[in-house]
Amino acid sequence: MAEFEHLSLSTTGNILTITINRESRLNALNQATLSELKETIQSIYDDKDIRGVILTGAGEKAFVAGADISEFKELNEMNARKFSEEGQEIFALIENCHTPVIAVVNGFALGGGCELAMACHMRVVTSDAKFGQPEVNLGIIPGYGGTQRLTHLIGKGRAFEYMMTGDMIDAETAESWGLANHVAENKTSAIELAMDILQKIEKKAPLAIDFVVDCVNAVYNPGENGYQTEANAFSRCCGTEDFKEGAAAFLEKRPANFKGE
């Protein structure tokens, strides 16, 4: 497994845990961390042995407290588009990854941290988690997809309010609005819950999981007809060995032995 300066990686069975490891900066995303994250996510695309990913922040206080503000002095109108597009590209890699990715949000998920959590397929959060897009306090707006994903997840009126005020959304509210899937008491129980979800998914037919990712993401892809994506994916599923195995196992009253074929 690759060694990184700002990420630690560990595996439990087929589940990879990626921990953003800059606790003294509340795990703020500097460019070096983003590039390590990109390399790690790209490697997951080619690794069929990894069947689920947990993404979390080191320590108890923060998932990620945003992009690293100390690097902002380099930003100007000329280079900021590239800064934004490169971040968007990495977060889209997470969203489109066929391996399920759960953000375990331990504490603050602000700015780029909120955007990173929203790019993951699911969010399991600690009871002290706080989401927010406070960029207006710095004279900017979210640039890693937050204007789009927050609006999709919590709706237009709420997205306007929280992006315009910079206020934070607590865990309970996040859960009631669909921004968080589950609230757990603390980081240990949040990781256990995320692990349970991923281990459950691991038993399902891998190709069906791939297609769920493509079809759900199609909803948010303007210009793509999600119903056609679904019908195509459904027919592809029906051509797989795993479909034959799943149906046979049900009729024979035994657990299915899926192979991803």
Active site residues: 115, 135
# residues near ligand COA by CB under 6 A: 16
For residue 225, state whether it binds ligand COA (rule: CB under 6 A).
no
Which CB, 70 or 228, lies closer to ligand COA?
A: 70
Q: Min. distance of Cβ 29 from ligand COA in angstroms?
A: 8
Bridge-based pairing of strands 130-132 and 168-170 is antiparallel
For residue 66, state whether it binds ligand COA (rule: CB under 6 A).
yes
For residue 163, state whether it binds ligand COA (rule: CB under 6 A).
no
Which CB, 27 or 40, lies closer to ligand COA?
A: 27
For residue 67, state whether it binds ligand COA (rule: CB under 6 A).
yes
For residue 28, state whether it binds ligand COA (rule: CB under 6 A).
yes
The distance from CA 112 to its chain's CA centroid, rounded to whole angstroms, is 12
Which of 7, 18, 20, 26 binds ligand COA (CB under 6 A)? It is 26
| The one segment of 61-69, 96-104, 179-187, 189-197 that binds ligand COA by CB under 6 A | 61-69
| The one segment of 25-33, 178-186, 215-223, 229-237 that binds ligand COA by CB under 6 A | 25-33
What is the C-alpha to C-alpha distance for residues 216 and 36, in angstroms, rounded to an integer? 27
The distance from CA 114 to its chain's CA centroid, rounded to whole angstroms, is 10
Residue 76 burial by Cβ neighbours in a 10 Å radius (0-12, 13-18, 19+): exposed
**SS3 call for 208:** helix
For residue 69, state whether it binds ligand COA (rule: CB under 6 A).
yes
Q: Min. distance of Cβ 101 from ligand COA in angstroms?
A: 22
Which of 18, 19, 25, 106 binds ligand COA (CB under 6 A)? It is 25
CA within 13 Å, CB half, 40: 27
* End-to-end Cα, the chain, rounded Å: 26
What is the C-alpha to C-alpha distance for residues 107 and 57, in angstroms, rounded to an integer? 9
What is the C-alpha to C-alpha distance for residues 95 and 76, in angstroms, rounded to an integer? 28
Which CB, 25 or 149, lies closer to ligand COA?
A: 25
From residue 98 to residue 137, the character string flagging contacts with ligand COA as x (rule: CB under 6 A) and all else as - is ----------x-xxx---------------------xx--
Q: Which residues sit opposite 15 in a β-bridge?
A: 12, 52
What is the C-alpha to C-alpha distance for residues 245 and 250, in angstroms, rounded to an integer? 9
For residue 91, state whether it binds ligand COA (rule: CB under 6 A).
no
What is the C-alpha to C-alpha distance for residues 74 and 72, in angstroms, rounded to an integer? 5
What is the amino acid identity at position 80?
A
Which CB, 43 or 84, lies closer to ligand COA?
A: 84
Q: What is the DSSP letter of 25?
A: G
Instruction: List interacting residues with ligand COA (CB under 6 A).
Output: 25-26, 28, 65-70, 108, 110-112, 134-135, 138
